[in-house]
Amino acid sequence: MKKIIAKHGLTAAVVSLLVLVFAFGGVYSRFMTAQIAARANGGTGTDYIDMMTGATSSEVFATADVVKTYALADDRGDFTPSVLASYRLSSDAGEIGVVYVVSSHGKFPGIQIAFAFDLATDEVVAVKVVAQAETPAYYGTLDAAFFAQFDGMALADVGLAVDAVAGATYSSKSFEIALLYAREHYAVDYGFQIPSIAITLNSLTRNFDLATFIAMPYVADVTYGEDDVNVVVYLDAAFDVAGVLSGTEPAADVKAAIKSLAAADASLNTRASFVQYDPDSRELVMQTKGYSSNPIRVTIVLNATLDAIVSYEVDSHETYSEEEAIEDSGYGGGEVPWVENSFIDDYRLDGVLDVDAVGGASYTSPAMKALVALLDQFLGSVGGGD
């Protein structure tokens, strides 16, 4: 034995070490491969058992094929989410819940959010972010209070919506899209009736009443219910009902439905908004969302008849060089706020905006176009127009 060890011991030791490293590494790399594959497909079932109290097992199931499109915040177009994975959660007594892992769209696509629904109460019991690639500074503001709103959220709420966190609107909106879409799947898979009220949004317009337009920028004309009750209401910037212009104040569920309809209505220019108005100095502050996360603010002084611009000042944090690089076309203008000034100066010439866009400033241009269009509407309403 000693002879064998003396002769072959070193070889055996080296080979054993090699096999050990190879085996350990092999197990580790297979584990990593399994994890990344599961992650690309919405996670593994065991990741979600702890989302529901009392759940002891999870089972993959094929959810129904549902196609729905949702508008992204700030007029960035439409998005069609998808369910990456769906799991039935069971306890010893039987099936108690369901988890949908939805691929949604915040600032960027690819945020994966899992919602757990309680089959007994039709409520949201847990939410989990499986993966995300949002801007860390903004996503990080989604705190415990934000996530707490989902606890016990009733799927039967006609105005099911997510309260956004200021400064993280896109990321917040991604949760709302995911939740609404998950509810659609829940409705098809489990026969859940998504509540709806017979309601029609007859019109959604801007409120240009000088006394109220800052706090309540929108006016919605709706008809609802079996009796076709008509009401015209003021809406605030978040589309919550803030006052009644005519008719009887509607109930809470109708208000929620009005909010949902107004928020989804794409007919209105909501990119630009009014911030402040001083009737004494006739100083109007407007803002619009361009490329920078800080909106472009324009302070405009109007004339006495409120139909022309006397002077203006732009506070902008745009970066034309980055927009130009993304758009990959030349920008030939001046430094910030050259683009913003160009739009306003053009409008001031004859009260008509002839500039469509400035090449290389593909984010700032539509933002300023929206602002000038809104200003034009405002002047047309409160003043004499041109």
Interface residue list for other proteins (CB under 8 A): 6-7, 10-11, 14-15, 17-18, 21-22, 25-26, 28-33, 35-37, 39-40, 108, 110-112, 129, 131-133, 322, 325-328, 330
* H-helix or E-strand spanning residue 136: helix 136-139
Min. distance of Cβ 27 from other proteins in angstroms? 9
Distance CA(384)–CA(376), nearest Å, equals 11
| Cβ nearer to other proteins, comparing 32 with 211 | 32
Residue closer to other proteins by CB (options 184, 324) is 324
Q: Are 222 and 199 in contact (CB under 8 A)?
A: yes
- Distance between CA atoms of 204 and 187, rounded to whole angstroms? 30
Nearer to other proteins by Cβ, of 5 and 211: the residue is 5
Half-sphere exposure of 302 (CA within 13 A, CB side): 24
Closer to other proteins by Cβ: residue 130 or 375: 130
Is 29 or 121 the residue whose CB approaches other proteins more closely?
29
- Cβ(45)–Cβ(59) under 8 Å? yes
Q: How far is the CB of 28 from other proteins (least distance, A)?
A: 6
* Closest distance of CB 243 from other proteins, Å: 42
Q: Which CB, 18 or 251, lies closer to other proteins?
A: 18
| CA distances, 210 to each of 58, 206, 233, 277, 304 (Å) | 58, 12, 16, 8, 14
Which residues have C-beta within 8 Å of that of residue 26, sequence separation ≥ 6? none
Work out how close the CB of 166 gets to other proteins at its nearest, in angstroms, rounded to a whole number: 23
73: Cβ contacts below 8 Å, ≥ 6 apart: 169, 170, 173
Shortest distance (Å) from residue 44 CB to other proteins? 11
Q: What is the smallest separation between the CB atom of 36 and other proteins, expressed in angstroms?
A: 4
